[in-house]
C-alpha cells in the first residue's frame, strides 16, 4: 500500500464552472507530497469534463445530488482503503479552497484514531451537522463505515453532509475542529467589480487565518473561479515562482 498522510476526495460534476474550478485545483492540490487529491464522479459523459489522472469514476452510481454524492463518497472511501495507508480522508468539493500546509498543522494535533470532524453548522431543517465542504475522518473510522452500512438500514435520501453526521455520530462523536471562512463573498472580504473589456476585476482583503474558504456564489458562479484564482496566487505563489 502507498503511504500518504491525508487524502482529499473532491466531489466533482460536469459543468462549465465546475470544470473551471477543477482546472485551478489541479494546479496546487497535489503539490504537497503529504497529500493526494482525487476528483470523484458518478456516471458521467467524460467528454464533458476536464480530465486529470486523479479522477475516479463510479459508473454504477447516478450523478446527482441525492443520493449520488453520498454513494460516490462511500465508493471512493472504499477505493482509497484498498490502496493507501493514510491518516485521514478529507471529503470536500470543488468550490472550497484549502490551505494544505495549515490543514497539515491542524491534523497533527488531532487524534489519529476514532476521529471525525470538520466545520459544524446549524440549519433549520437538519439541525447541527458537519458541512460537506470539509469532512475529516481518521482511517479506522473510514474502515468502519462500510461495515456500519452493511449492518444498519440507512435512509440515504438526505443531503450527504447530514447523512455523514448521523452515521459518524453513531460510530464516534463528530467534533467541531475546522476554522473556515464561512462566506468569502460577504463581510470578511471586500469585493469591488469593474467591468472593462469583458473582464471582471476583483479587489480583495484576504484574511489568512483560515484553513479553508467557502467560495460558492449562488448569484454568479463565475465569481467562484475568480476568487479561487485570487486565493491560489496569494497562498501558493511559491509554486509559480519556481516555474519562472
pLDDT in tens, 67-121: 999 999 999 999 999 999 999 999 999 999 999 999 999 999 999 999 999 999 8
> What are the boundaries of each domain within the chain?
2-179, 193-243
Percent of the chain exceeding pLDDT 90 equals 70
Going by pLDDT thresholds of 50, 70 and 90, the confidence category of residue 201 is low
Phi, psi of 240 (to 5 degrees): -80, -30
Q: Looking at residues 53-59, what average pLDDT do you find?
A: 98
**192 has a pLDDT exceeding 80:** no
Q: Looking at residues 224-241, what average pLDDT do you find?
A: 88
Side-chain-facing half-sphere of 124: CA atoms under 13 Å: 0
Which CATH architecture group holds 2-179? Alpha-Beta Complex (3.90)
Helix/strand number for the chain, H first, E second: 7, 14
Q: Which of 121, 142, 125 is nearest to 214 (CA)?
A: 121
Three-state secondary-structure class, residue 10: strand
Q: Which of 52, 69, 171, 197 is nearest to 116 (CA)?
A: 171
* In the chain, alpha helices (H): 16-28, 68-83, 100-107, 139-151, 160-171, 222-235, 237-243
Are the C-beta atoms of residues 206 and 232 closer than 8 Å to each other?
no
Q: Looking at residues 120-143, what average pLDDT do you find?
A: 93
pLDDT in tens, 153-180: 888 999 999 999 999 999 999 999 998 7
Q: Looking at residues 118-128, what average pLDDT do you find?
A: 88
Are the C-beta atoms of residues 98 and 105 closer than 8 Å to each other?
no
Going by pLDDT thresholds of 50, 70 and 90, the confidence category of residue 183 is low
Given this model, what pLDDT does residue 218 score? 80
Amino acid at each position: 500500500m502507498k503511504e500518504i498522510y491525508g487524502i482529499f476526495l473532491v466531489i466533482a460534476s460536469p459543468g462549465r464552472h465546475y470544470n473551471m474550478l477543477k482546472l485551478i485545483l489541479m494546479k496546487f492540490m497535489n503539490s504537497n507530497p503529504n497529500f493526494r487529491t482525487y476528483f470523484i464522479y458518478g456516471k458521467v459523459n467524460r467528454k464533458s469534463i476536464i480530465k486529470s489522472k486523479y479522477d475516479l469514476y463510479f459508473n454504477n452510481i447516478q450523478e446527482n445530488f441525492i443520493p449520488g454524492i453520498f454513494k460516490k463518497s462511500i465508493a471512493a472511501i472504499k477505493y482509497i482503503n484498498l490502496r493507501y495507508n493514510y491518516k485521514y480522508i478529507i471529503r470536500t468539493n470543488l468550490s472550497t479552497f484549502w490551505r494544505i500546509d495549515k490543514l497539515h498543522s491542524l491534523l497533527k494535533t488531532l487524534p489519529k484514531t476514532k476521529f471525525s470532524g470538520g466545520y459544524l453548522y446549524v440549519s433549520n431543517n437538519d439541525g447541527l451537522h458537519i458541512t460537506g465542504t470539509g469532512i475529516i475522518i481518521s482511517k479506522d473510522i473510514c474502515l468502519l463505515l462500510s461495515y456500519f452500512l452493511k449492518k444498519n438500514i440507512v435512509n440515504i435520501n438526505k443531503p450527504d453532509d447530514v447523512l455523514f453526521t448521523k452515521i459518524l455520530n453513531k460510530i464516534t462523536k463528530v467534533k467541531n475542529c475546522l476554522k473556515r471562512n464561512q462566506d468569502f463573498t460577504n463581510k470578511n472580504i471586500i469585493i469591488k467589480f469593474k467591468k472593462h473589456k469583458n473582464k471582471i476585476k476583483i479587489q480583495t482583503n484576504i484574511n489568512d487565518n483560515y484553513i479553508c474558504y467557502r467560495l460558492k456564489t449562488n448569484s454568479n458562479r463565475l465569481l467562484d473561479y475568480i476568487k479561487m484564482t485570487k486565493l491560489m496566487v496569494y497562498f501558493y505563489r511559491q509554486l509559480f515562482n519556481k516555474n519562472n
